[in-house]
């Protein structure tokens, strides 16, 4: 289901338009988070993307350990089909 309400990233005002903010012309975003699921299938990938983009800052040792465990689990999972 598509959300009706949008929020401007620039001025913070809410609108129902989907293209641009009618007040300042800024970019719009959906103001609420996605639904929560206890068996989050893509949580690992979101975490990896945040680490790789620098949004989450960790020591290089921890990053290497996460990437190595991800590569191992990906290689094990690909051969089970």
Are the CB atoms for 28 and 8 separated by under 8 Å?
yes
On the question of pLDDT at 79 being above 70, the answer is no
pLDDT (average), residues 3-29: 93
**How many residues does this entry show for the chain?**
81
User: Is there a single domain that holds both residue 3 and residue 28?
Assistant: yes
Q: Is the pTM of this model over 0.85?
A: no
What is the predicted pLDDT for the residue at 77? 64
User: Is there a single domain that holds both residue 70 and residue 49?
Assistant: yes
Q: Within a domain: residue 37?
A: no
User: Is there a single domain that holds both residue 47 and residue 73?
Assistant: yes
What is the predicted pLDDT for the residue at 63? 81
On the question of pLDDT at 81 being above 50, the answer is no
Number of domains in the chain: 2
Is the model more confident about 7 or about 34?
7
Are the CB atoms for 6 and 30 separated by under 8 Å?
yes
- What is the span of the domain harbouring residue 13? 1-32
Neighbours of 6 (CB within 10 A): 20
Q: Within a domain: residue 18?
A: yes
Is the model more confident about 24 or about 46?
24
């Amino acid at each position: 289901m598509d959300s009706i309400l949008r929020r401007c990233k620039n001025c913070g005002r809410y609108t129902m338009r989907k293209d641009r903010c009618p007040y300042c012309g800024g970019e719009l975003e959906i103001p609420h988070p996605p639904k929560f699921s206890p068996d989050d299938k893509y949580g690992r990938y979101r975490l990896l993307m945040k680490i790789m983009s620098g949004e989450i800052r960790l020591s290089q040792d921890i990053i290497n350990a996460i990437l190595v465990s991800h590569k191992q689990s990906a290689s094990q999972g690909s051969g089970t089909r």
